[in-house]
Amino acid sequence: MRIAVAIAGLSLVAQDPREIIEKCLQRDRRHDELARQYAYLETAAEQEWKGGTRTKSETETHEIISLYGQPYRRLVAKNGKPLTAQEQKKEQEKIDKLAAERAKETAEQRERRLAKYAEDRRRQRSFVQEIPKAYSFQMAGETTVGGRPAWIVDATPLASFRPRDTRERMLTKFKGRFYISKLDSTLLKIEAEAIDTVSFGLVLARLSRGARFSMEQARVNDELWMPLRIKVDFDARLALFKRMRIDVQIDYSDFRKFQSESKVLPISPLEK
């Protein structure tokens, strides 16, 4: 028994957690590129609480599709019910108008628009590549996630990290736990907790210490990994006066791959 425990301990020590994280981030970049070829449903459920009483509960479902090379969010349901005929008409008018505008683009205009989108996307995700610089990493064990063996890696913010912008500054406010596939270095799940107050919009909104975030991923079409569920639970103060607790859960489903701009093909169910 002691020998088995010792071997398990040596196994953890032999693994470099920083190397595991870096490989994971490299795969994440490739998955993000492939994800642009997919349409899917995004259902966001938000609940607000004040003094133990639920004051708000709303759910919206959007269909994310590709419209001339760029993602478009179309509202398809509210609180679990399809849109009314009038709401459907309004949504259809919006997408028809945008599609008509993009259909008239010259090759140069389309190339410029897509290049801007790609650059905006790169900037939005650039902070992710700073994770290896922003944290110290420790092996925290092994587990199974969705039937797949996984490393558990804990991440603690480094005091020496110097963020360059607001997104990178967020990294200094959270500690995290990564669940990474031992088979191919894919991120299976992540959990994060705020270790300090997080402010937004010139301190007009604040998240209290202890706010939690988690994300689970699922393999799609035997090709890539995409988010399956995101959960955020936090206490917030809006405009420095209104305090409330907010719970948000976002579920992703019905992934379909585009073969062209106009045709969407069904794919196999999610592999969990």
Q: Which two tokens stand for residue 158?
A: 């480094």
Give how far Cα 6 sits from Cα of 9, 13, 14, 17, 153, Å: 5, 11, 12, 19, 19
Side-chain-side CA neighbours of residue 106 (13 Å):
2
Please, which pLDDT band fits residue 201 given cuts at 50, 70 and 90?
A: low
Dihedral sign computed on CA atoms, order 87, 89, 93, 95? positive
Evaluate if residue 118 carries a pLDDT over 70: yes
85, with CB counted inside 10 A (0-12, 13-18, 19+), is exposed
Phi and psi for 96 in degrees, rounded to 5?
-65, -40
Alpha carbon distance 106, 130 (integer Å): 37
Q: Which residue intervals of the chain are DSSP H helices?
A: 2-14, 17-35, 85-103, 107-125, 131-134, 166-171
Lowest-pLDDT range of 46-55, 61-70, 124-133, 223-232: 46-55
Give how far Cα 216 sits from Cα of 69, 111, 148, 227, 267, Å: 27, 34, 13, 6, 20
Q: Which two tokens stand for residue 124?
A: 């939005």
Give how far Cα 192 sits from Cα of 74, 83, 176, Å: 30, 35, 4
Alpha carbon distance 249, 4 (integer Å): 40
The predicted pLDDT at position 240 comes to: 58
Q: Which two tokens stand for residue 215?
A: 């994300």
- The pLDDT of 161-171, averaged and rounded, is 90
- The pLDDT of 142-169, averaged and rounded, is 94
Dihedral sign computed on CA atoms, order 162, 167, 169, 171? negative
What is residue 49's three-state secondary structure? strand
The predicted pLDDT at position 8 comes to: 45
Please, which pLDDT band fits residue 33 given cuts at 50, 70 and 90?
A: confident
Residue ranges per structural domain of the chain: 17-62+131-266
Evaluate if residue 66 carries a pLDDT over 50: yes
